[in-house]
Amino acid sequence: MPELRVVSPPSPDVPGQASDLVGSLRTYFEGGSTKPLAWRLSQMDALEHLLRERERDILAALRADLGKPETEAYSSEIGMIHSEIRLVRRKLASWMKPERVRTPLVAMPGRSYVHREPLGVTLIIAPWNYPFQTAVLPLVGALAAGNCVVLKPSEVAARTSALLAKWIPKYLDTKAVRVVEGGVPETTALLRENWDHIFYTGNARVGRIVMEAASKHLTPVTLELGGKSPCIVDDTADLDTAAKRIVHGKFFNAGQTCVAPDYVLVHERIHDALLNRMVGTVREFYGDDPKQSPDFARIINARHHARLAGLLEGADVATGGQTDLERLYVAPTILKNVRPEDAVMAEEIFGPILPVIAVPSLDAAIAFVNRREKPLALYCFSTSKAAQDRVLRNTTAGDTTINHVWMHLGVPEIPFGGVGESGTGAYHGRHSFETFSHRRGVLKKPTLPDPPLMFPPYSARKLRWIKRLL
C-alpha cells in the first residue's frame, strides 16, 4: 500500500498508512468529542476564520490553477461557503433536536421520535473544477453532523490542494479532520478502507470505481457526478434575457462547471435570433479578443485542452473556436448546425464550447433530452407556464431552473444532486447535514402497563383485538 501524505501537526504518532489513519479517527470519534453542539459550532467558527483570514491565498490559488477571475472565484468558491456556514450556525441546534413522530395505538403508551446521529468516519473526494468549494462545502455538512473526516483534494488543482493541506490543519480539530494529498495511488489506498460514508464529486467513470470500492464494505455513498445538462428555449422565451443568462452560465469558469448548460435546444422559429444574440453577448462580456479579457478563466491542464481542441475539429463555429495550448486558452465558442451524432454531443463537454441545435417543437426538445442519460441539471427558457409545466412533467433531471441557469445552487433549501447517471444523493443546506447523519428511530415505552394482548398463549379474542388495533 502506498504511503499517504497525511497533513497534520508534526508528531511521532502521525499515521502514514490509510488503515492507521482511519483507525486513529475512529478512536477519536468513539470518544464522543465530535458529537456535542459546541464542538460542531466551534468547527464552523474555525472555517469562517479560515475563509476570512486566508481569502487572498485562496483567490491566488484558484487564479494559479484555473485562471479564475476574482469575482467568479469569490462568488462560487468562497461566498457559497460563507452562506452555508451562516445557515448552519442559525439552524444546527434545531436540526439536532429529536423529531417527534406519531406513535400508533398498538405501541401505546409510548413516545416515538427520530434521533439524528453522526455516521462516524467519512471520506470526501473533491474534483478540480471548483477545487476549494467542492472540498469545503461537503466538509461543512460532515462537521455539522458531528463526523470525523478525511479530505482528499484534487491533485489536478495542485495549488488549491496544497493550500487546503497547509491551512485546514491550522484551523480545524486535527484529531477529527485530516487532509490527504496525492493522486490515484493515494485515492486507491483510501478507497480500500472501511468508511461510514464516502462523498465523491467528479465524473461517472470514477464514480463507478468509488461505488464498487464502497460496496465491499456496504459503505453508503454520495456521488455528485455530471452529464450533458440541456437548455431548452421555446418560441415564447425572452431572447435578450435568455442569451445573456445562457452565455454567462456556460462560460463562467471557462465552462468547467458540472451544471453548465451543455447544449441548447432552441425552437427553429427563433434559432437565428437567439444565436445572433448569444454571439453578441459573448463580445459584450469578453470583448473582441477574449484571450485578453481578465474575466475569462483558463483550462485546467494540457490534457483537457487537447480534448476540447479535438471537439472543435470540423465544427461549424458561430463565434470563437481559437485555442492556445501554451496559455491553456480555449475561446468562448458557440457552434451551429450541430448534429446529434457529432462528437461534441457524445459526452459532457466541460469546457467553453456551446452547441446550438434547432428543434421543430417543444415536444421534439423533450424527446431529444429523454433519449439521453438523466442530466444533473435541466434549464428551460419560456414565458409560457404551460410549456414550463410540460417540460417539468415530461423530463427527469437532478435539478431544474426555469428562465435562468444554475441559480438553484444558491438556494440551500433545494437539495443539490443528480439522478441516474448524473449521481446519487444530495447536499446543500440541511440536506448536507442529513446526508452525513443517520436517522435513528427510537420508541420509548414505560415498563407498565404491560397488557397481555401481544403475548402467548394466543386466542381468537386476542387476534380480533390485534386486527382492530392494526
Catalytic residue annotation: 224, 258
- Alpha carbons 160 and 167: distance in angstroms, whole number: 11
Instruction: Enter the DSSP assignment of 422.
Output: G
Q: Helices marked H in 70-157 — which ranges?
A: 70-73, 80-96, 133-144
3-class secondary-structure state, position 320:
coil
What's the sign of the alpha-carbon dihedral 63, 222, 246, 305?
positive
CB burial of 293-310 (b: ≥16 within 10 Å; e: otherwise) equals eeebbbbbeeebbeebbe
3-class secondary-structure state, position 248:
helix
- Alpha carbons 7 and 111: distance in angstroms, whole number: 46
- Alpha carbons 225 and 258: distance in angstroms, whole number: 7
CB atoms within 10 A of CB 341: 7
Do 209 and 47 form a contact (C-beta atoms < 8 A)? Answer: no
Q: What is the DSSP string of 335-369?
A: E-S--TTSGGGTS---SSEEEEEEESSHHHHHHHH
CB burial of 103-133 (b: ≥16 within 10 Å; e: otherwise) equals beeeeeeeebeeebebbbbbbbbbbbbbbbb
- Alpha carbons 93 and 311: distance in angstroms, whole number: 50
Do 50 and 91 form a contact (C-beta atoms < 8 A)? Answer: no
Question: Helix, strand, coil % (nearest 5) of the chain?
Answer: 45, 20, 35
Pairing of strands 230-233, 263-267: parallel
- Alpha carbons 380 and 265: distance in angstroms, whole number: 10
Instruction: Enter the DSSP assignment of 396.
Output: -
Q: Scanning the structure block, which residue is given the C-alpha cell 490553477?
A: 65
Q: Which amino acid is at 439?
A: R
Beta strands per DSSP E along 119-201:
121-125, 148-152, 177-181, 197-201
| Cell numbers standing for residue 112 | 416515538
What's the sign of the alpha-carbon dihedral 182, 60, 140, 209?
negative
| Cell numbers standing for residue 437 | 447523519
- Alpha carbons 269 and 3: distance in angstroms, whole number: 60
